[in-house]
Amino acid sequence: MSAPAGPRTEHFDCGLLADLEDGGMTLVEGPNGGIGLFRRGDTVYALRNWCPHNGAPVCLGPVTGTNVSKGGHAVEHVRDGEILVCPWHKWEFELATGESITKPVKKVETYPVIIEDGRVSVVVRRIRKRRNADTTHN
Amino acid sequence: MIGRYFYPPSIPEWTPIGEDDARPATSSPELLADSWDVAVGTDGAILVPLTRGLIPEPDLGPAVCSATNAWLRDKWLDHSALRDRVAGAVRVDPEDADAAIAELERVAGDPRFVTVAVPLQGREPYGSRRYVPVWRKAAELGFAVTIVADGGCGINQFPTMAGYCDHYVEYNSLLPWTAAMVHLASFVGGGVFEEVPDLRVVFLDGGADVVFPFMWRMDKPWRGVRYQVPWIEKHPTEYLVDHVRFCVQRAEGAALPAASLTSLATELTVYGSRYPHWDAITPAEARAGLAPDAAEKLLGGAADFYGGRFARWAAELPTRPGLPVSQ
C-alpha cells in the first residue's frame, strides 16, 4: 500500500529489500526508535520494537504459532509463523497486524511499508520534538 | 507420644464438655444435643466426620469412607436428639475415583447428606485430571465439595519446598492454608472450574485472609503463559466468587477474624465452626466486629453458595428458639 509523506508523517528508508533477511528479522534504528523488519518473500512487516506490556524489545522474540483450546484439555497448535512472541513475558502478537492475542486491547505499533524499486521504506510519524524517542532501547 | 507430636501436650485437641467433664463435646449425640444451644448456637449444622488421615492403602481408604458414612447416618443423622438439626458430609477417598463416584451414587438418595468431604491432605493437588470425575459427579448430584484438614494417621506429604517444620507453632501457622492454596491453584490451573461449571468448593480450615494476595500472584503471569493453559478463560481471581469459599477461622490470627478481613475477602467467607476442635469459633465470635448485613451474610450465606442439596436441607430447617444468633 502506498502512503505519501504528509505533514505528520515521513518516510524512513530502510535499504534494499534484498538485504533484509528473508524469513527472519532485521532491526533498524528508526527516527522514533527501533523497528523490526520481518521480510516474508516480497512482503515486509514493520513493527515497533517496543512491547505494550512492559516495553520489552519485542521484535527480538521468536516467530511461532499459538495454542488454542479445543475443549477440555485438548489443545491445537495453529498459525505457525504468524505469531511474534515477546521474549520477556511471552505475550503473543500477530506479526501482520501487531494485534495481541494475549490481551486484545494492547497492540504492538506497526508501520505501513512501501517497497519501490527494490527499496524498503516505512511510514513513521514525524515528531517535532523527539522527547519520547528511546534510542537506547534496541 | 507419636500421636501427640503435632499438638501441644497441655491443650486437649477437642473442646471438653465443661471444666469438670473432660469428655469431648461431640463424643456422643446426647452430649452434642445437650451442649448445642450454648456451644453450637445455630439452627443447624453439618456433621463432618473425620477419617483421620491420608490413607495410602488403596482399598482401605474407600472402605473407611463407606463405613464412616454408614456410621454417621446410623449413629448421628438418625438420632432422635439431633434429627431436627443435623445434616452430614459424605466422605469419599478421591484417590479412587471409581469408588468415590460409586459412594456418591449410593448416598445420593439420602437428602441428609448435603456435601462431599475430602481431606486437605492429598497425594496430588485436587485439580489434577484424575480427580475431575469425582468433582463432576459431586456437582451433578448437587454436592458442594468441602475440603477439610484431616490428619492424625496415614501419611503426610512434604509440606514445603524447604521440608518439614520442627515445631507445632510453625506447623499450625503455615498449614493448612498453604495446602488450600495449592488445591485452589490447581483447580484454576487445570481448568476444573471451566470443565465443571457447577463445582463449588469450600475450604473448611480457612484461607480467606491470604487468598487474594495469592491469587493476584497467579493473575500476574497467566496472560503470558496463556499458550500453556489456554483453557483458563479469565483471570484466576475471577473464578473465586462463583466457585470458592473459606470458613472463618480463629486460627487466622486476629481476635476478630472476620472483621480483620478486607471487604473483598469477606465476600469469600462462610461460617463454619470446626466445633469441637480446640480453636472452634462460635457464631457470636465469628460475627464480632462486622456490620449487621455483613454478619447476616456470613452466618446465613452458606446455603446461597452451596446450593443444591444443602440449600434444600437448610430451607426445611426449623428455627431454634432462644439462640443468641439465629441463622
Range of the domain at A16: 9-125
Residue A136 lies in a domain: no
Residue A134 lies in a domain: no
Judged by CB atoms closer than 8 Å, whether chains meet at B227 and A66 is answered as: yes
CA-nearest residue to B227 within chain A is A67
Give me B77's grid cell. Answer: 443423622
Judged by CB atoms closer than 8 Å, whether chains meet at B195 and A91 is answered as: no
Q: Cα-flanking dihedrals φ and ψ of residue B146, to 5°?
A: -100, 125
The helix/strand/coil state of B9 is coil
Judged by CB atoms closer than 8 Å, whether chains meet at B223 and A102 is answered as: yes
What separation in angstroms does the CA of B273 have from each of B41, B270, B279? 10, 10, 9
In this prediction the pTM is 0.86
Cβ atoms of residues B265 and B206 within 8 Å: no
Q: Does A103 touch chain B (CB under 8 A)?
A: yes
Among B residues 55-114, those touching chain A with beta carbons less than 8 Å apart = none
Q: What is the DSSP letter of B143?
A: P
Q: Which of A53, A64, A66, A69 is the best mutation test for B, with the most CBs of B within 10 A?
A: A69
Nearest Cβ partner of B224 from A67, A69, A89?
Answer: A89
Question: What is the β-pairing status of strands A110-111 and A43-48?
Answer: antiparallel
Residue A116 lies in a domain: yes
**CA–CA distance, B267 with B245 (Å, rounded to integer):** 8
B226 chain-A contacts, CB cut-off 8 A: 67, 92, 101-102
- The answer, yes or no, to whether residue B120 has pLDDT greater than 70, is yes
Q: Cα-flanking dihedrals φ and ψ of residue B184, to 5°?
A: -60, -45
Q: Can you list the domains of chain B with their CATH numbers?
A: 18-315 (3.20.20.140)
CA dihedral of residues B77, B82, B87, B89 (deg, nearest 10)? -60
Give residue-wise pLDDT tens across range A23-75.
999 999 998 899 999 999 999 999 999 999 999 999 999 999 999 999 889 99
Give residue-wise pLDDT tens across range B189-243.
999 999 999 999 999 988 888 899 999 999 988 888 989 999 999 999 999 999 9
Q: Calculate helix-pair angle for B60-72, B97-107, nearest 10 degrees.
A: 10
Q: Does B23 touch chain A (CB under 8 A)?
A: no
Give residue-wise pLDDT tens across range A75-132.
999 999 999 999 999 999 999 999 999 888 899 999 999 999 999 999 999 876 656 5
DSSP sequence for B264-323:
HHHTTEE----TTBTT---HHHHHTTS-HHHHHHHHH-HHHHH-HHHHHHHHTPPPPTT-
pLDDT at B297: 84
Cβ atoms of residues B211 and B236 within 8 Å: no
Residue A100 lies in a domain: yes
How close B323 gets to chain A, by Cα (Å)?
48
Best CA proximity match to A137, nearest among A57, A31, A65, A23:
A57
Q: Averaged over B108-133, what is the pLDDT?
A: 96
Best CA proximity match to B325, nearest among B40, B52, B26, B107:
B40
Best CA proximity match to B134, nearest among B183, B95, B190, B78:
B95
Question: What is the β-pairing status of strands B244-247 and B201-203?
Answer: parallel
Give residue-wise pLDDT tens across range B149-174.
887 777 877 777 888 888 878 877 88
CA-nearest residue to B231 within chain A is A69
Cβ atoms of residues B49 and B70 within 8 Å: no
**CA–CA distance, B143 with B83 (Å, rounded to integer):** 20
How close A137 gets to chain B, by Cα (Å)?
22
**ipTM of model:** 0.74
Residue A97 lies in a domain: yes
How many beta carbons lie within 10 A of that of residue B161, not counting itself? Answer: 5
Query: Which of the four pLDDT bands, split at 50, 70 and 90, describes residue B277?
Result: confident
Give me B324's grid cell. Answer: 443468641
Q: Does A87 touch chain B (CB under 8 A)?
A: no
Residue A2 lies in a domain: no
C-alpha B183: how far from its chain's center? 13
Q: Which of A53, A67, A103 is the best mutation test for B, with the most CBs of B within 10 A?
A: A67
Q: Cα-flanking dihedrals φ and ψ of residue A3, to 5°?
A: -135, 105
Per-chain mean pLDDT for chain B: 86
Residue A4 lies in a domain: no
pLDDT at B253: 54
Domain of residue A109, CATH code? 2.102.10.10
Q: Cα-flanking dihedrals φ and ψ of residue B45, to 5°?
A: -150, 150
- In chain A, the number of structural domains is 1
Tell me, what amino acid is at A68?
A: V
Ranges assigned E (strand) in chain A: 9-16, 26-30, 33-40, 43-48, 63-69, 75-85, 92-94, 110-111, 113-116, 119-125
Residue A36 lies in a domain: yes
